[in-house]
Structure 1
Amino acid sequence: MVTSEPVGVLVRRWRDRRSRSQMDVALAANLSTRHLSCIETGRAVPSRQMIERLCDELDVPLRERNAFHLAAGFAPVHPERPLDDLGAAREVVRAVLAGHEPSPALAVDVRWELLSANRAATAFFTGLPAPLLAPPVNVLRATLHPDGLAQRIRNLAQWRAHVLRRIRRQLARTAAEGLADLLAELESYPAPAEEEPRNDLAVPLLLSSDDGDLAFLYTTTVFGSPRDVTLDEIAIETFFPADAVTAEVLRKAAGADGRPEAG
């Protein structure tokens, strides 16, 4: 990661992104407002410890924290290992995916590229065009592309609007590279016709299938207190049947054991 911007510019940008005043951040990070002002204007260079304190207060993702350290003349603090090298954390991902069978679950990175999925989730994408399944598979592209899963989503207008709102919030929180381009691509897909409002507890994913219409709710799981960039960017999306019909279809599709290995 290379940055040509001074560390003070990065501090100011993330403070503005979080809509926080200099006084608020300075008090929370245990430094004077004058000192923070000097950092932002380049008259002072923060130490490694001060960078981490400021980043903690501004909820800066680990990838961007490394950019802060580089801009201040330090080596990056937070390592970035491949998923397969994350040891116990990798096993946690596998355990969650496998343990969630017969319901779908998948792990994605910050750009929604597929890292791993269980058998039930893989079945979501069966039969999609090869270009949408070329590695790295982008889950949202495969879902909302007109030639993708969108053809089977019964509440496409509602689900698309929900996904786009989620990506906008994620972009505002993380400023992740490539996420703005993904959002622009998803927004460029033809917008479906408006639908009648639904009275659901949460926005469901409604899919047509050979076994009838299926309904899912989902939750998102992230690792607490990550210190590795890859781990910081992993999210596990777990889908749950929203009605008895869906639960029965999933149970029958899983077979006798109901708990195949995650892939």
Structure 2
Amino acid sequence: MREHEARHAGRVADTTGVVPNVTGAPVGEMVRRWRKRRHRSQLDVSIGADLSARHLSFIESGRANPSRAVIERLCDELDVPLRERNAFHLAAGLAPAYPERPLADLGVARSAVEVVLAGHEPNPALAVNVRWELLAANAAMQVFLDGIAEELLEPPVNVLRATLHPAGLAPRIQNLGEWRAHTLRRVRRQWERTAADGLPELLAELESYPVHATGDAGGASGHDLVVPMQLAGEHQVLSFHYAITVFGAARDVTLDEIAIETFFPADAATAAAIRVA
């Protein structure tokens, strides 16, 4: 299994000390920003987080500084990712609450990723982070990598860039317009959900790529269940749909951001071709 891991290992922070605010934004402003991102009112969030509306108002205005417990209740209610939760704690003058370790150091979680990837063969599967950077893949992923320019496969490999770039998989995608539109929607939803650094820039880059001449204009494929990726193979068009697996109740930033994408044949002809590949 090939791996492209973070270049620095995260550390478990001292959760009792007080540290400077290095985030640049007051914690109250961050709470308000995430509340608006989730389209929630102060009253609604205060009830869900078991706070008074006055207390939440004071936090957002900077008149009160939330405790670690209050930050966690607010983040739970607003479904804030662990990386951003650490930023909340830092903004409140507290140490980060969640470690960040590379995939190699995640123990049984890493083993679970390996089991899923290997167990999914002969079908393709890969693990990515929140920005769709490749962390690991099984041998069957080679069906997607053939013909991709070497520079797009230099780590960290961004699988969406490698898919939609004109020197990537795009010329082989028969329904490129439809698949491109689907992919761009995924990035927009990911940005709305996570506010992860780099996603707006990635979205702008992907939007700048042209639709290949052999691709469609973005209309429906006529498939009756899901939008498949229709990929020109050596002898036939291969059609795949995918499922996403994430870890529940993660307590590590890296683990919180890992998604495993497993591809399945969308028709009998593709299933037969993959079995004999």
TM-score (norm 1): 0.94
Q: Which amino acid aligns with 1:108?
A: V
1:199 offset after TM fit, Å?
2.2
- With 187-196 and 111-120 compared, the bigger mean Cα shift is at 187-196
**1:233 equivalent in alignment to 2:252:** no
| Residue 10 (structure 2) aligns with | none
Query: Counterparts of 1:122 and 1:87 in 2: how far apart (Å)?
Result: 26
Tell me, yes or no, if the aligned pair for 2:180 and 2:218 is still in contact at 8 Å.
no
**1:198 equivalent in alignment to 2:221:** yes
1:171–1:196 CA distance, 2 compared to 1 (3 A): closer
1:128 offset after TM fit, Å?
1.4
| Residue 136 (structure 1) aligns with | 156
Tell me, yes or no, if the aligned pair for 2:178 and 2:221 is still in contact at 8 Å.
no
Query: Counterparts of 1:122 and 1:229 in 2: how far apart (Å)?
Result: 29
1:198 offset after TM fit, Å?
2.4
Matches within 5 A, 1:180-259: 180-192=200-212, 193-194=216-217, 197-200=220-223, 201-253=225-277
User: Which of residues 56, 59, 67 in structure 2 aligns to 1:47?
Assistant: 67
User: Which of residues 177, 180, 188 in structure 2 aligns to 1:168?
Assistant: 188
Tell me, yes or no, if the aligned pair for 1:105 and 1:238 is still in contact at 8 Å.
yes
| Residue 88 (structure 2) aligns with | 68
Tell me, yes or no, if the aligned pair for 2:244 and 2:262 is still in contact at 8 Å.
yes
Q: What SS is found at the alignment partner of 1:20?
A: coil
**1:91 equivalent in alignment to 2:111:** yes
1:232 offset after TM fit, Å?
0.4
Q: Which amino acid aligns with 1:241?
A: P
Q: Which amino acid aligns with 2:130?
A: V
Q: Which amino acid aligns with 1:219?
A: A
Tell me, yes or no, if the aligned pair for 2:125 and 2:263 is still in contact at 8 Å.
yes
Query: Counterparts of 1:77 and 1:219 in 2: how far apart (Å)?
Result: 31
| Residue 256 (structure 1) aligns with | none
Tell me, yes or no, if the aligned pair for 1:104 and 1:240 is still in contact at 8 Å.
yes
Tell me, yes or no, if the aligned pair for 2:120 and 2:262 is still in contact at 8 Å.
yes
Query: Counterparts of 2:50 and 2:142 in 1: how far apart (Å)?
Result: 48
Query: Counterparts of 2:102 and 2:108 in 1: how far apart (Å)?
Result: 13
| Residue 166 (structure 2) aligns with | 146
Gaps of 5+ in 2: 1-20
Gaps of 5+ in 1: 254-263
| Residue 10 (structure 1) aligns with | 30
| Residue 136 (structure 2) aligns with | 116
Size of the aligned set, in residue pairs, is: 253
Q: What SS is found at the alignment partner of 1:154?
A: coil
Percent of pairs identical after alignment? 67
Moved over 2 A (4+): 195-199
User: Which of residues 13, 32, 39 in structure 1 aligns to 2:52?
Assistant: 32
Query: Counterparts of 1:205 and 1:127 in 2: how far apart (Å)?
Result: 17
Tell me, yes or no, if the aligned pair for 1:106 and 1:118 is still in contact at 8 Å.
yes
Q: Which amino acid aligns with 1:178?
A: G
TM-score (norm 2): 0.89
Q: Which amino acid aligns with 1:31?
A: L
Q: Which amino acid aligns with 2:174?
A: R
Query: Counterparts of 1:195 and 1:18 in 2: how far apart (Å)?
Result: 29
Tell me, yes or no, if the aligned pair for 2:147 and 2:169 is still in contact at 8 Å.
no
Query: Counterparts of 1:9 and 1:196 in 2: how far apart (Å)?
Result: 41
Tell me, yes or no, if the aligned pair for 1:205 and 1:215 is still in contact at 8 Å.
yes
1:222 offset after TM fit, Å?
0.4
Query: Counterparts of 2:183 and 2:22 in 1: how far apart (Å)?
Result: 31
